[in-house]
């Protein structure tokens, strides 16, 4: 497999700021408004280089908006990220999270009834303490980050205002442990089987597993028909509530599937999860109208992001490969042919194999062939 892999794991841990009083809430709102204006100002230059943007606009931004040097710099960074993401296209900044780096915040534990976690923010003038509440899993990671011998370290916090409530997203970082990846695990995504997973142990396919995503397909199909009727009746209020419910169900199913995929990977020595780049996957799928709609409704990229996140937490590498011909190539002899039906049949060597399992083997082998494109430092029948 080649050289050992070195990278840093970064994850975001959400905490909720608990009922800040009127004065504290006002301070957050005022600074957020200034920050949004600063990001818009920096973005108006359409410059992708931080140093150049610093020279062109930093002093003027400090004078106009009165933000601290730390917040002005992170507003500059946000603007550069937006300009790069839009690649020259016109865009408008309507809202933005407020990024605070290590120089302007700290998180500590205190023995209080309200919460043991308190966030100190120096946003404008004097610093202010805010109580923060974490969920169980998030709390475990925060405890590790605050301990002297923990693996995780706190890097920055993003402050987000949503539906009148404030949330803090802490970026935690830890180094990946060096290892020689031994077991590539291919993940093929498709319409019949939402995800098909196959490990290569000593180069041999082992323990293929299907994740059908039946609940996701069912919910998406049912809600599509209901939404269509609601739009015809102009019931947008019901439409929005329904869309929120659909999103929650789908996200739950994606969490379950991604967790099970990572658990599958953990049973093998030094695993690396291999997934296809999704560029062109929807454009290349051409079937009947109903099947096309069902395929395009499947959240493939969202599943990949969840797999990435959960793999990071377990110290498992994720790599993306070129998807060319992974579904058309015979994994035994390498012959490329057109595939019909659910079975892959090779006219050269006579192989008969489940087409999705065949594709997942080819995805895994793409890593050993060197067709990958870099590491990301982004049970059956479901």
In the chain, domain spans: 8-175, 183-375
User: How much is the pLDDT for 192?
Assistant: 87
* pLDDT in the model for residue 297: 60
What span, in angstroms and rounded, lies between the C-alpha atoms of 304 and 183? 19
The per-residue pLDDT for 6 is 46
Q: What is the spatial distance between Cα 249 and Cα 266, in angstroms, rounded to a whole number? A: 26
Output the pLDDT for position 56: 96
Radius of gyration from C-alpha coordinates of the chain: 24
So what's the pLDDT on residue 66? Answer: 94
Residues of the chain with pLDDT under 70: 1-7, 176-180, 223-243, 279-297, 369-382
Q: Give the CATH fold of the 183-375 domain.
A: Nucleotidyltransferase; domain 5 (3.30.420)
Counting every residue, how long is the chain? 382
CB-side neighbour CA atoms (13 Å) of 119: 30
Contact 360, 190 (CB under 8 A): no
> How many helices, marked H, and strands, marked E, lie in the chain?
9, 15
CA distances from 90 to 83, 281, 287 (A): 9, 26, 34
Strand, helix or coil at 132? strand
Q: Residues of 5-16 as b/e, b for ≥16 C-beta within 10 angstroms? A: beeebebebebb
Please give the pLDDT value at position 237: 56
Determine the pLDDT at residue 179: 59
- The token pair at 257 is 């599937």
How far apart CA 228 and CA 11 sit, in angstroms, is: 38
CA distance 71 to 124: 9
């Amino acid at each position: 497999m080649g050289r050992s892999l070195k990278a840093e794991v970064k994850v975001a841990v959400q905490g909720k700021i608990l009922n800040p009083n009127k004065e504290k809430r006002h301070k957050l709102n005022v600074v957020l408004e200034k920050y949004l204006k600063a990001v818009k100002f920096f973005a108006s230059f359409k410059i992708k280089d931080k140093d150049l943007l610093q020279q062109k606009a930093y002093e003027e931004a400090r004078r106009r908006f009165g933000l601290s040097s730390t917040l002005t710099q992170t507003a500059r960074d946000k603007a550069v990220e937006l300009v790069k993401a839009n690649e020259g296209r016109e865009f408008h900044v309507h809202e933005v999270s407020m990024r605070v780096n290590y120089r302007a915040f700290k998180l500590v534990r205190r023995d209080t009834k309200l919460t043991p976690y308190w966030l100190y923010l120096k946003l404008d003038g004097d610093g202010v303490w805010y109580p923060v509440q974490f969920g169980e899993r998030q709390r475990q990671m925060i405890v590790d980050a605050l301990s002297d011998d923990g693996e995780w370290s706190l890097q920055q916090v993003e402050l987000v205002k949503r539906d009148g409530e404030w949330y803090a997203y802490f970026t935690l970082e830890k180094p990946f442990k060096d290892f020689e990846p031994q077991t590539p695990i291919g993940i093929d995504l498709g319409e019949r089987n939402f995800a098909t997973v196959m490990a290569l142990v000593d180069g041999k396919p082992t323990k293929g597993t299907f994740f059908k995503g039946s609940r996701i397909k069912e919910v998406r199909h049912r809600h599509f028909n209901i939404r269509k009727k609601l739009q015809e009746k102009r019931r947008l209020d019901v439409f929005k509530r329904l869309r929120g419910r659909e999103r929650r169900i789908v996200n739950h199913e994606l969490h379950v599937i991604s967790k099970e995929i990572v658990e599958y990977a953990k049973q093998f020595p030094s695993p690396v999860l291999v997934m296809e780049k999704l560029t062109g996957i929807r454009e290349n799928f051409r079937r009947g109208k109903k099947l096309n709609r069902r395929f395009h409704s499947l959240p493939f990229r969202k599943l990949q992001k969840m797999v990435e996140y959960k793999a990071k937490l377990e110290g498992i590498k994720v790599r993306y490969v070129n998807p060319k011909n992974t579904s058309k190539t015979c994994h035994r002899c390498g012959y490329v042919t057109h595939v019909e039906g659910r079975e892959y049949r090779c006219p050269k060597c006579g192989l008969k194999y489940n087409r999705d399992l065949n594709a997942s083997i080819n995805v895994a082998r793409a890593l050993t062939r060197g067709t990958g494109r870099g590491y990301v430092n982004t049970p059956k029948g479901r």
